[in-house]
C-alpha cells in the first residue's frame, strides 16, 4: 500500500475520486493501484508527481509510511 500517497491526499483534501480523475482512471482502478494490486503506468506516475507538487518519486511510492 502506498501510504504516502494517501497522506498527501489527506494533506491536500483530495478524495480518491479527485486523484483518479487527475490520472485518468476510474476510482475502482485507483483503489487497486494504491493497494498495490495493479501497477501505475508511467503517465499516471507523472500525473501524481505533478499533482502533489513534484514530490520525490521515492517518497511518494515508498511502501513504508514516511509521514
**The pLDDT of residue 65:** 55
**The pLDDT of residue 54:** 74
40 closest CA partner among 14, 67, 20: 20
Q: Domain residues for 23?
A: 3-60
Q: Is the CB of residue 39 less than 8 Å from the CB of residue 33?
A: yes
**Long-range contacts of residues 17-21, Cβ cutoff 8 Å, at least 24 apart:** 19/48, 19/51
Question: Over the stretch 2-22, which tens digit does the pLDDT of each residue have?
Answer: 999 999 999 999 999 999 999
Question: Over the stretch 22-63, which tens digit does the pLDDT of each residue have?
Answer: 999 999 999 999 999 999 999 999 999 999 997 899 999 998
CA dihedral 42, 49, 56, 29 (to 10 degrees): -60
All three cell numbers of 42, joined, read: 508511467
Does some domain include residue 9? Answer: yes
Q: What is the CATH number of the domain that holds 24?
A: 1.10.260.40
What's this model's pTM, rounded to 2 decimal places? 0.88
**The pLDDT of residue 20:** 98
**The pLDDT of residue 67:** 53
Q: How many separate domains does the chain show?
A: 1
Amino acid at each position: 500500500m502506498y501510504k504516502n500517497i494517501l497522506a498527501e491526499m489527506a494533506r491536500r483534501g483530495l478524495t480518491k475520486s479527485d486523484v483518479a480523475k487527475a490520472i485518468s482512471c476510474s476510482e475502482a482502478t485507483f483503489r487497486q493501484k494504491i493497494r498495490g494490486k495493479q501497477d501505475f503506468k508511467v503517465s499516471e506516475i507523472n500525473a501524481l508527481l505533478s499533482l502533489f507538487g513534484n514530490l520525490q518519486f521515492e517518497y511518494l511510492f515508498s511502501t513504508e509510511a514516511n509521514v
